[in-house]
Structure 1
Amino acid sequence: MKRLWPVCLALLMLPCSVFAASSGAQSPPLDLTQSTIGYVAIVIFAIAYTLVMLEEYLQLRKSKPVLLAAGLIWAMLGYVYSQQGYIEVAHAALEHNLLEYAELLLFLLVAMTYINAMEERRLFDALQAWMVGKGFNFRALFWLTGILSFFISPIADNLTTALLMCAVVMKVAGDNKRFINLACINIVVAANAGGAFSPFGDITTLMVWQAGHVSFSEFMPLFVPSVVSYVIPAVIMSLFIPNSKPNVTHEHVELKRGARRIVLLFILTISTAVAFHAVLHFPPVIGMMMGLAYLQFFGFYLRRTLKRSLANKAKMAIANRDDYALKRLGSVVPFDIFRRVSHAEWDTLLFFYGVVMCVGGLSLIGYLGMISEVMYLQWDPIWANIMVGILSAIVDNIPVMFAVLTMEPTMSMGNWLLVTLTAGVGGSLLSIGSAAGVALMGAAHGKYTFFGHLKWAPVIGIGYAAAIVTHLWMNSSLFT
């Protein structure tokens, strides 16, 4: 699987239709849960998502099956609702889902553009070269990549962070498959844990934040439980890492002009998005799109000043008789913002469209209301949210969290934080449970595998359980 994005962020939540208002989900006018249409829709969605999970083996882009499934489900719903005289209701539900996806698309597009700009300016290459050149042994590299994954993912998103750290591991480990497998597991667990306490760290946390259930600052109580969910498995796995040093070749990487300033603009963009949401109560996407303008103006500045910058560097290279520098200057390409936009991972963006529309269709059929009644009315919400984490490992946390938000259960702040935590770190139980795990199976093909991860699932499960207990104990006041 290619680099999906990245980074840093996104889906939003949605009451999936006009029937899922903020006051709580209501029943659709037609109950199709026990109809042929309903059963066929479930089968279509199940087949589509099975193909998504088998992407690595089938080499079939994950967006294709969910796009087809979404079209088929809504075609059936349109036919039934038009026959029963409720086509306006179905039309309103469809438009609501499209509006929510439009916000998601633009939010993700800005985030991906910034990440691609940082990559083009060689920021990630420089970080990788620094780590490789320090001469760490395998155990130190194991801890360094894990800790960096934990602290970078809250800003750059768990998927981008995992791919970056995996590139480092692959470069220094050579053919040591055992170390690569353990290091990749550690990276996945750390990136998912680090993303759980930040609205920008995981798509699921962003969904909860944008839904308004948890404010930006209210995620911080999840920090310690997130640390627990990472540290316990990491300590156990580190006992199986050798102290020997890998054979590596140091490579110097020079940042391109404007690299550090783009990082500052990205931080300013995130701050703008938070301000629009917290102060003005507008969707965060408005602030993100304003942040895209920051990058556009800076790109304009880089292009207009490129000749002067090259001339100054050429004079210095000639004075220093640096032929390599002169040759490098001759290959400089002007910064192009629209080229960065074109490099967004469109397969991922279209995949989210398919997920939003499929889950929206199942909500209109009535399945989500039925599941919500069982899980959040007949069960204790704590057990329901723990089950959400387990389901996230099997199905992937994005559609699971989207379904929960569409159900609109009435829960305390403690339980909203709990479901955010379990959906985030629960995806680490299996390699297919999160985008980070699926991506690394492709990046480290044959070295980090499903069954290689599965062997350590009990150890990861200990961290998962310990994180839940820690949250219930430390944040007990939030459950009242």
Structure 2
Amino acid sequence: MQGIFWLLGLAALALPEWGYAETNGAAIVQPLDLTHHWAGYFSLTVMVAAYVAAMFEEATELRKSKPMLLAAALIWFVIVLVYQEQGNDLLAVTAFKSNLQTYIELLLFIMVSMTYLNAMEDMRIFDALKVWLVRKNLSYRQLFWITGLLVFFISCVVNGLTAGLLMGAVAVAVGKDSPRFVSLACINIVVATNAGGSFSPLGGISTLFVWQHGMLGFTEFFKLFVPCLVNLLVPAMAMHFALPKDKPTIEVEQVELPRGAKRIILLFGVTIGLAVGFDMALHLPAAAGMMAGLSLLQFFYFYMHKTDKADAQQQSEFALFFGGGDLNASAVNASRFDIFDKVGRLEWDTLLFFYGAMMGIGGLGYIGYLDAISHILYGQLNPSLANILIGLSSAFVDNGTLMFAVLTMHPDIPQGQWLLLTLTLGVGGSLLAIGSAPGIGLLGQAKGQYTFSSHMKWCPAILLGYFASIGVHFLVNANSF
């Protein structure tokens, strides 16, 4: 339990807390320290309880968003209550709104990204990629390397869970007669997915936070490409010699991409370009560019629906005339191009969990718990050691939550240290099967073949890759420190 308190203390997010003092006759805003107040103790207890409940989601069957949403509401309730007693409730409300704005920008960005991914899934684009890989008639060792390298690059633009499950499906399909291959391939996919998502601002929640807060520019993330590649290669080379040498025997299905599939891929690329352009050229939030891209998808769906409607109606009438037609054909066709159907299929439980985590931890920071933690991590400890330890803790605690907390500590560290933190938080989750979303997803997808214990057997090799990538970062990005 002490470890949980330490991690949550580390994750305590601070926003400006205002009180009043006099300096040279002028009124200055200063924080209200509530760390030893009943409201502080209550809030910390509520947050710990909510986080523990979220960690045991599978055992309790209680979705992780529920306790976090309740915790956030209770924490800000007591904060505003205390500030009302001091006559400064407007200051607490302003802090809440600042947290809320940050979350909304994140929500809109992820919403558009996941909507495009759902649209591509409906167009069977990922199925086509999976079948293309399976039909190559490659050996187990070749498939091991190809799936790892592919997911490494895919995860820099596609969320880690989707990318991991896509390549996991390939591993399970080709390794149905070789559980050892499936286990090793899944470990490699988890490591590759987390590494690939660490050198791009679009690769995950933690990198997106760093980009949103302006700590690193869009192109500066690519300085982590070589360290992230090393993080993948070190454990992969160790596992290579444990792989079967023969070729799998598999049956291949046929996948035909429907009309409009390639254009949706193009529109997704344009949308990412708009997000980057809005941020770099117009200095607007990247979410504004993503929403502009969502409008393009809506107009494209409108065009597809109108042009397909006449053909579908003619085919339905023809089929009905000869018998066996489907009266709901036009309705089904309309559903294919319903943008709100794609939005409705987002991982809302995860998105609401992040709301609770960000707002709850934001409340803890506003109370004042962050300053002491920040002084310990970035005052008493060496910043490099602090960032390495934070990265290791991401094997147990969500890396997006940790990154958001550290960002709002406002540590005075150079660009190289921000890159180091991005690297360690991104790849640290690979140390355990439950340390990242791809790992958890593959535990279910390859149940019985890829397990927590099978991942743990290769933890020393993964840990070696973790420290090797840090060493390479210090070497190749020395001028950033």
TM-score, reference length from structure 1: 0.88
Equivalent residues of 1:396, 1:432 under 8 A apart: no
The match for 1:89 among 83, 91, 110 is 91
The match for 1:66 among 65, 68, 87 is 68
Matched residue, 2:300: 298
Equivalent residues of 2:16, 2:31 under 8 A apart: no
Q: How many residues align?
A: 455
> Residues 179, 42 of structure 1: CA spacing in aligned structure 2 closer, same or farther, 3 A cutoff?
farther
Pair 1:247-2:278 in alignment: no
SS in 1 for 2:408: helix
Between the aligned partners of 1:379 and 1:66, the Cα distance in structure 2 is: 31
Equivalent residues of 2:14, 2:364 under 8 A apart: no
> Residues 299, 75 of structure 1: CA spacing in aligned structure 2 closer, same or farther, 3 A cutoff?
same
Question: How far 1:52 sits from its partner (Å)?
Answer: 2.2
Equivalent residues of 2:13, 2:408 under 8 A apart: yes
Equivalent residues of 2:134, 2:252 under 8 A apart: yes
> Residues 337, 331 of structure 1: CA spacing in aligned structure 2 closer, same or farther, 3 A cutoff?
closer
Question: How far 1:15 sits from its partner (Å)?
Answer: 7.8
Equivalent residues of 1:28, 1:364 under 8 A apart: no
The match for 1:127 among 129, 133, 136 is 129
> Residues 157, 27 of structure 1: CA spacing in aligned structure 2 closer, same or farther, 3 A cutoff?
farther
Equivalent residues of 1:195, 1:201 under 8 A apart: yes
**Match for 1:17: what amino acid?**
L
Question: How far 1:352 sits from its partner (Å)?
Answer: 1.2
> Residues 160, 28 of structure 1: CA spacing in aligned structure 2 closer, same or farther, 3 A cutoff?
farther
The match for 2:188 among 160, 177, 186 is 186
Matched residue, 2:465: 463
**Match for 2:446: what amino acid?**
A
Equivalent residues of 1:273, 1:288 under 8 A apart: yes
Matched residue, 1:275: 277
SS in 2 for 1:433: coil
Matched residue, 2:210: 208
Matched residue, 2:354: 352
Cα displacement string for residues 353-381 of structure 1 (whole angstroms, at most 9, x for unaligned residues): 01111110111121122211111122221
Equivalent residues of 2:190, 2:430 under 8 A apart: yes
Matched residue, 1:333: 333
Question: How far 1:110 sits from its partner (Å)?
Answer: 0.7
Relative to structure 2, which stretch is displaced further, 183-192 or 39-48?
39-48
Matched residue, 1:321: none
**Match for 2:333: what amino acid?**
V
> Could you say which structure has the larger radius of gyration?
2
Equivalent residues of 2:109, 2:287 under 8 A apart: yes
Matched residue, 2:7: none
**Match for 1:450: what amino acid?**
F
Cα displacement string for residues 131-155 of structure 1 (whole angstroms, at most 9, x for unaligned residues): 1222223222211111111010111
SS in 2 for 1:432: coil
Relative to structure 2, which stretch is displaced further, 460-469 or 35-44?
35-44
TM-score, reference length from structure 2: 0.88
Matches within 5 A, 1:11-410: 17-19=15-17, 29-174=31-176, 176-307=178-309, 333-334=333-334, 335-410=337-412
> Residues 313, 461 of structure 1: CA spacing in aligned structure 2 closer, same or farther, 3 A cutoff?
farther
Between the aligned partners of 1:441 and 1:105, the Cα distance in structure 2 is: 27
Q: CA RMSD in A?
A: 2.9
Question: How far 1:230 sits from its partner (Å)?
Answer: 0.5
SS in 1 for 2:253: coil
Question: How far 1:96 sits from its partner (Å)?
Answer: 1.0
**Match for 2:370: what amino acid?**
L
Equivalent residues of 1:214, 1:413 under 8 A apart: yes
Matched residue, 2:323: none
Between the aligned partners of 1:215 and 1:119, the Cα distance in structure 2 is: 30
Between the aligned partners of 1:161 and 1:185, the Cα distance in structure 2 is: 14
SS in 1 for 2:431: coil
Equivalent residues of 1:77, 1:361 under 8 A apart: yes
SS in 2 for 1:154: coil
> Residues 384, 313 of structure 1: CA spacing in aligned structure 2 closer, same or farther, 3 A cutoff?
farther
Matched residue, 2:449: 447
> Residues 239, 258 of structure 1: CA spacing in aligned structure 2 closer, same or farther, 3 A cutoff?
same
**Match for 2:236: what amino acid?**
A
Instruction: In structure 1, list runs of 5 or more residues that go unmatched.
Output: 1-13, 21-25, 319-325
Between the aligned partners of 1:244 and 1:57, the Cα distance in structure 2 is: 39
Question: How far 1:48 sits from its partner (Å)?
Answer: 2.0
Between the aligned partners of 1:200 and 1:307, the Cα distance in structure 2 is: 36
Instruction: In structure 2, list runs of 5 or more residues that go unmatched.
Output: 1-11, 19-27, 320-325
Matched residue, 1:23: none
Question: How far 1:310 sits from its partner (Å)?
Answer: 5.5
Question: How far 1:193 sits from its partner (Å)?
Answer: 0.4
Between the aligned partners of 1:283 and 1:331, the Cα distance in structure 2 is: 37
